[in-house]
Amino acid sequence: MAKHVVVIGAGPAGLETSAKLSKMGLRVTLVEKEETSGGHLKNWHTLFPGNMPGLKALESIKEGLDENVKIQTNTQVTALEAVNDYFTVSGHNGWQEKADAVVLATGFKLFDARRKEEYGYGIYENVITSSDLETLLAKGNLFSNHKNPARIGFVHCVGSRDEKVNNLHCSKLCCITAVKQAVEVKQLFPETEVFCFYMDLRMFGRHYEELYKEAQEKYNIQFIRGRLSESTEDKEGNIIVKVEDTLLGKPLRIKTDFLVLMTGMEPAAGTKSLTAMLGLKDVSDKFIRPLDEVLQPNFTDMPGVFVAGTCSGPKSVSETLADARSAALAVEAFLKE
Amino acid sequence: MTFDLFVIPFFGGLLFMIIVLFLKYSRWIAMMDASDRVKAGMAFFSASLPVTIREIFWESLLHRRMFKKNPLLGFMHMSFALGWLLLILMGNLESRIYSGGHINPPYYPIFLKFFIHDKRVLPFEIFTLPGFFRFTMDLLLLFVLSGLGLALFKRARSKWFGLKRTTRHNSFDKWAIISLWLIFPLRLLAESFTAGIYQGGGFLTNSLGHIFAAFLPLKYLVYPSWWAYSSMLGIFFITLPWSRFMHIPTEIVLIFLRNAGIEQGKYPGSFSQIELRACPRCGVCIDVCQMNEAGLTGSSAVYLIRSLREKQAGVFLHSNCMMCGRCLEACPVGIDTLGLRVGARGVDNRQIEADFTYLAKQPVPATKADVVYFAGCMGHLTPGVKNAMIKIFERAGIDFNFLDEDGSICCGRPLKLAGMQTAASKLITENTKAILGTKAKILVTSCPICYKIFNTDYNLNGMQVMHHSVYIDTLVKEGKIVLEPAAFRAVYHDPCELGRGSGIYEQPRNVLKQIAEVADVAQDRENSLCCGGSIGDLAMSAVQRNIIRDGALSILCESNPDMLVTACPLCKKTLDTGNGLIVKDIAEIVADRMTVSIKQTVSRSLAGQMSV
């Protein structure tokens, strides 16, 4: 009988790993705490580069699943124990499976922007997050009660590279997402002035720099280097932003209709609890530390337990999928031994 | 016989110490402001003198605050201070009787047993007990020796004395402490040896003398033992002005000056110099310092004071302190540890010449209202708090001006804590103008940091300054807002600047108790822990702050509360780690739980009809 792998988390990483493991002839159980699979991707309007809708990308990934993959939703993993040469994985609802290998694909959670209370998320109606913006774009009702917003601001690094919220790491995708979203907004509202408030712009990926250039030259998006100090709401519900333009060395006060906070990535609750449960190593950012970040990014200190996707650090969807395939290969190699 | 060569080390040491102390104190008195000198002079004739004497008796002799900290520690300090003083007084009395009332040289009572070997019952003693003095003097010596025993025991088991960590000593302290410790055993030996030969001692020295006589050649030992005793006294007196034992005379001076109404002042002066020397380095401040948790053990108040006294450079030491005031609260001598640190920072941080031209543009509200609200920088960084206060004002029907609605200049307290007094004064002047310009009667602020400096450094012509927790308490008591209880259990965190800094402990709790069940916290009120977010520290890393915060959180959450409530925007921000625990400001809880009282409903509907 084919060996059995339990994959925890049915986001892009878990789905892709399962699909590839199944192709390799292994039996897979994919456990998901939520009602449906897809993770954050199912709520994401479009991906960059290529502007593929998140749902469409998700469908393509799911096409790889076959009858060898059993999906167990609404199940929160509460215990994972190594017994002799196999693992027992148990869920909160009594679900239990034996596995020859386990893949952690528990992913990330978005930083809770309410923790940066000075930006007013959850207090001022017109302060939203990048994730909210994707949802609004997907629904097609972005700023529906504001026909022509005069100004919109994007705030980079909310919950990333910020000692005050104990997140030193860069979430790396928020920069390109802000540029992508700024362009999308500008396409919808050409008359609107769009500002991006950034510390550094980290345009590391292919086509990223090009889009950034286009955003400035074609779409006239204003990039202001400076970290927001605070925002307040005036009586009309506009958001007044206080920021220092550190290139000009001048403090600015800008009245915006909407403020979009580019929330960073933190390890998901499930990532944290499994790390603690298994006694896996993490670093100060609390993402799981693989056995070797360069050579063995999918192995952990615990033989038979693997990582895939953003539970081992922020990744784009394309990077996540590549990591998932790499994890599948690692599992196969391990089970063959 | 009233003189012998061996008294010279003692007598010389004593004279040396007296001259040094005289010179030192004269210099500090000369450095004082003229007004302070007048105050000090007047204090000899004012009602503060009995208070001073009482305090000296309770604190310098009996060590009452030490007893409160730990009975063993208190007894140890008391036995040295009180025991030694009584030995001196009794010895003097005894020597007077022997000399028929004449004034004797200072060494005479100290070494009386060397000079007089009299076993007669003195005339005075006929009326009391035979051998009264011999008995009492031995008892007092035993009392001091018991303190010495405790001091030695403390080296091994400091925890019994309520101290986890004790002060690390420098070489001067070591010389002084060794001589101090040897003084009394040597006195015991000298007197016992003498009693062994002449039988002129009390219950202790006579019995010991008897034993020693059995196996020691006392005839040869007795004279060297008096030399040794006198020499130890000499060493102690010579080292005293530069050792921790300078606190013995200086604490008395400090108590006197403090009761005379003399304060530290904005810049380090002679009062600070006296405070530095009044520190006994008892180490009580070390354990209460939360910096230890973050591995920062070298900047506790005792080390700050020592480094200042020894004029060591210590920018890092001066900077590394949250200014939470726990050491101030714990200090048995009542030294203003925070003031000393601010003074030191003032010397470190050159007075920055910043551009203050923007200050002239502070807007003043056009309309007049009795209440003016100042959210403060931290209030603006926590819009939830600011909005809650606006909601509360509106619900209570209070006519108010929001002074810093469009942002404002800083209250000046962060600059003051950094020792930048000049810059702080500029902000204070401008803010004062803006505040007084509102012609309000009450200034309400959401930030305990602002609240503290409004009270200490602003002259607001009698305008009442209220922290919002106190103001809300008043509104509730006046029935202007009515609170609806909810079924949850909360703990209250005392912010440093509001609690220890300003003495406000009960009002926020009163308000909170109207809404929720308030659970106890092991370390609260005066003993409350700093949240770790303090603006007072100029050097700590975020990681170190987090360690301190987590330590405070673990104490606060021991009872597993549903909510953590505080009254400081900075504490709220710091303690909210996003790990599921709800952290709120008292104003936010109140804003959520206000109901409309019947009176308000009526008056509002009437107002509505009138406007129609």
- Residue range A9-22, pLDDT digits in tens: 999 999 999 999 99
CATH 3.40.50 fits B358-476, yes or no: yes
Flag whether pLDDT at B600 surpasses 70.
no
- Measured from the Cβ of residue B96, the count of other Cβ atoms closer than 10 Å reads 16
What is this model's ipTM? 0.84
The fraction of chain B above a pLDDT of 70, given in percent, is: 93
Distance (Å, rounded) from C-alpha B98 to C-alpha B139? 20
Distance (Å, rounded) from C-alpha A33 to C-alpha A36? 8
The fraction of chain A above a pLDDT of 70, given in percent, is: 99
Average pLDDT, chain B: 90
Chain centroid to Cα A250, Å, comes to: 34
> Which residue, among B108, B100, B88, has the nearest Cα to B124 in the 3D structure?
B100
Q: What are the residue ranges spanned by the domains of chain B?
A: 7-31+62-242, 358-476, 482-595
- Measured from the Cβ of residue B350, the count of other Cβ atoms closer than 10 Å reads 9
Rounded to an integer, the average pLDDT of B420-432 is 90
Maximum C-alpha span of chain B: 113
Q: Which residue has the higher pLDDT, B169 or B341?
A: B341
CA angle A118, B454, B31 (to 5 degrees): 125
Distance (Å, rounded) from C-alpha B231 to C-alpha A12? 85
Long-range CB pairs of B65-72 (<8 Å, 24+ gap) are B65/B332, B66/B282, B66/B284, B66/B332, B69/B162, B69/B284, B69/B330, B69/B332, B70/B161, B70/B162, B70/B163, B72/B150, B72/B154, B72/B160, B72/B161, B72/B162
Q: Do the domains B482-595 and B358-476 match in fold? A: yes
Flag whether pLDDT at B269 surpasses 90.
no
pLDDT band at B164 (very low <50, low <70, confident <90, very high): confident
**Residue B610: per-residue pLDDT:** 45
Q: Is the peptide bond before A12 cis (omega within 30 degrees of 0)?
A: no
Rounded to an integer, the average pLDDT of B265-290 is 91
Mutate to test the interface with B, among A232, A263, A273 (most CBs of B within 10 A): A232
CATH 1.10.3470 fits B482-595, yes or no: no
**Residue B603: per-residue pLDDT:** 52
Residue of A nearest to B574 (CA): A164
Chain centroid to Cα A223, Å, comes to: 23
Is the Cβ–Cβ distance between A87 and A99 less than 8 Å? yes
Is the Cβ–Cβ distance between A287 and A315 less than 8 Å? no
Flag whether pLDDT at B606 surpasses 60.
no
Hey, is the C-beta of B382 within 8 angstroms of any chain A C-beta? Answer: yes
Question: CA-CA distances (angstroms) from residue A36 to A9, A56, A102, B53?
Answer: 11, 15, 20, 79
Residues 118-137 of A with CB under 8 A from B: 118, 120, 123-124
Is the Cβ–Cβ distance between B472 and B501 less than 8 Å? no
pLDDT 10s digits, A60-88: 999 999 999 999 999 999 999 998 889 99
Flag whether pLDDT at A35 surpasses 60.
yes
Pairing verdict, β A305-307 and A101-104:
parallel
Q: Could you tell me which CATH number the domain at A113-264 has? A: 3.50.50.60
Please list, residue by residue across B115-125, b when 16 or more beta carbons sit within 10 angstroms of its beta carbon and e when fewer do. Answer: bbeeeeeeeeb
> Which residue, among A243, A123, A229, has the nearest Cα to B381 in the 3D structure?
A229
Flag whether pLDDT at B604 surpasses 60.
no
- B383 with A120: Cβ contact below 8 A: yes
Q: Which residue has the higher pLDDT, B548 or B607?
A: B548
Handedness of CA A28, A33, A37, A42 (dihedral sign): negative
| Strand order from edge to edge, sheet including A193-198 | A127-129, A258-263, A151-158, A193-198, A222-225
Q: Of A305-309, A312-316, B353-357, B504-508, where does mean pLDDT reach its minimum?
A: B353-357
Q: Of A152-161, A168-177, B288-297, B399-408, where does mean pLDDT reach its minimum?
A: B399-408
Distance (Å, rounded) from C-alpha B195 to C-alpha B202? 8
Residues 543-562 of B with CB under 8 A from A: 543, 546
The fraction of chain B above a pLDDT of 90, given in percent, is: 71
- B384 with A117: Cβ contact below 8 A: yes
- A165 with B578: Cβ contact below 8 A: yes
Q: What are the residue ranges spanned by the domains of chain A?
A: 4-107+268-336, 113-264
pLDDT 10s digits, B383-395: 999 999 999 999 9
Provide the CB-side half-sphere exposure for A39 (13 A, CA): 29
Residue of B nearest to A114 (CA): B578
CATH class of A4-107+268-336: alpha beta
pLDDT 10s digits, B188-236: 999 999 999 988 888 999 999 999 999 999 999 999 999 999 999 999 9
Rounded to an integer, the average pLDDT of A270-279 is 89
**Residue B612: per-residue pLDDT:** 36
Give first-to-last CA distance, chain A, whole Å: 16
Flag whether pLDDT at B420 surpasses 50.
yes
**Residue B1: per-residue pLDDT:** 59
Hey, is the C-beta of A232 within 8 angstroms of any chain B C-beta? Answer: yes
Residue of A nearest to B577 (CA): A165
Rounded to an integer, the average pLDDT of B51-71 is 92
- B384 with A123: Cβ contact below 8 A: yes
pLDDT 10s digits, B81-111: 999 999 999 988 888 887 776 778 888 888 9
* DSSP string covering B416-476: HHTT-HHHHHHHHHHHHHHHHHTT-SEEEES-HHHHHHHHHH---TTPEEEEHHHHHHHHH
- For chains A and B, count residue pairs whose Cβ atoms are closer than 8 Å: 33
Amino acid at B430: E
pLDDT 10s digits, B111-143: 988 988 876 656 665 556 667 888 899 999 999
**Residue B10: per-residue pLDDT:** 96
Q: Do the domains A113-264 and A4-107+268-336 match in fold? A: yes
CA angle B75, B77, B78 (to 5 degrees): 60
From A29's Cα to the closest Cα of chain B, the distance in A is 30
Pairing verdict, β A4-8 and A27-31:
parallel
Query: 3-state DSSP helix/strand/coil percent for chain A, to nearest 5?
Result: 30, 30, 40
pLDDT 10s digits, A99-115: 999 999 999 999 999 99
**Residue B580: per-residue pLDDT:** 85
